[in-house]
Amino acid sequence: NYILSAKELLSSLQESCKNGLIAISDSPEKTQDDQSSTVFATLRTDFLSILALLHAATTKVTLSLKPGSPQYKASLTPLKDLSNNVAALVHSIRLMQLTQAKTILNEYESVAKSAIRAIDSFICTVSSSTSSDDCLRKAGEIHELIDHARKPGSLSPDNQAAVLKKWSQDHDSLKDGFEELNELCQPEDAKDDLEDDGWDELGFESNQKLSEEELARAVNIQTLIKIVVLLHQKVLKTTLSQKNRWPDPVLDDLADLSNVLLCSTDELISSLYGNQNVEAIQGHSQSLLQALERLKAILLPQTQSSLEDRMAALSVSAPDEKVQKWFAMCFHQIEQAGRRTNPLQP
């Protein structure tokens, strides 16, 4: 009975998607015995090939199980292919989890999870919907996701590239936040000239006026954020672009720090609008300054006293002296700006 077989495969495929997501989240622990018997370039090629197979199988399932005129016999092979390749995608990620660094692993895990969730949603729609448009839309979501992942330059080829991508994305958001802060710090007469954004018509005030004291506080924070944006850009353009500058554990720390800097900056800027809470501003300022201290420890490590200490520091290649001087000057400016941002000081 082809109808029964197809329905069993659909149900089994949904269960495979559910188990696959659990397996990816429950990553195996790395051990010293885990050696990269397969280089990452090969794992990456296999991963992209599996995505292509999922793309093709989705198309075939869509055509064979079209609502109104399903061809159950013709659907059996592509349904099996879809199930087998979901399992293959999970296995590919599990192999990466044994050997790869955190940042690049997060990138590939995210793509795999998104693809599996999209396939699960597609199968659910195929199993229950009587609308061809619904099935086509769900298949299109899978195709779009896979096409984007397979596009040249989309998925990072190594951990350094993944960290560089993360910093680049965060930098765009940092610049957006700084532009928002610049608008907040504009004189009130300049704000009056801005185009009406329509919020007042809904009973909300989009640009709550700052008192003189609040504006002075925001301007002090503005100086600090400007330096942070410049520092973030310098790391992006110099340190992270230098091949073999850092080992993977340090690169992963830098990726985490970029996110912390972005979140701390966003929270600090959000606290600067009207009716400021000085304790909240102080807390967000300290969070940002603490993150900057962590970054300083990486970019400007203490001078090592011996060759053994330098090896222990895991620095693969020597930093550029001119860049290091720039970082030293920048962190000095941050220290000065940080003292001026304490809203609890008289």
∠235-326-281 over CA atoms, to 5°? 70
Residue type, 212: E
C-alpha distances out from residue 123 to 12, 155, 184, 280, Å: 10, 26, 48, 47
Give the per-residue pLDDT at 290: 96
Q: Which two tokens stand for residue 110?
A: 């995210």
Q: Which two tokens stand for residue 158?
A: 């190594």
Domains (range + CATH), the chain: 1-29+37-150 (1.20.1420.10), 159-190+208-302+316-341 (1.20.1410.10)
- Could you write out the DSSP letters of every residue in 276-314? --HHHHHHHHHHHHHHHHHHHHHHSPPPPSSHHHHHHTT
Q: Is 198 in contact with 280 (CB distance < 8 Å)?
A: no
Q: How many Å apart are CA 211 and CA 95, to the nearest integer? A: 58
For the chain, 346 residues long, give each residue's pLDDT as a single digit of tens: 899 999 999 999 999 999 999 999 997 776 544 445 568 999 999 999 999 999 999 999 999 999 889 999 999 999 999 999 999 999 999 999 999 999 999 999 999 999 999 999 999 999 998 889 999 999 999 999 999 999 999 999 999 999 999 999 999 999 999 999 999 998 665 555 545 555 455 554 555 688 999 999 999 999 999 999 999 999 999 999 888 888 999 999 999 999 999 999 999 999 999 889 999 999 999 999 999 999 999 999 976 544 444 444 445 456 688 999 999 999 999 999 998 876 555 4
Q: How many Å apart are CA 13 and CA 16, to the nearest integer? A: 5
pTM for the full model? 0.85
Mention every residue, 6+ apart, whose C-beta is less than 8 A from residue 148. Answer: 154
Q: Is 247 in contact with 316 (CB distance < 8 Å)?
A: yes
Residue type, 197: D
3-state DSSP assignment of residue 171: helix
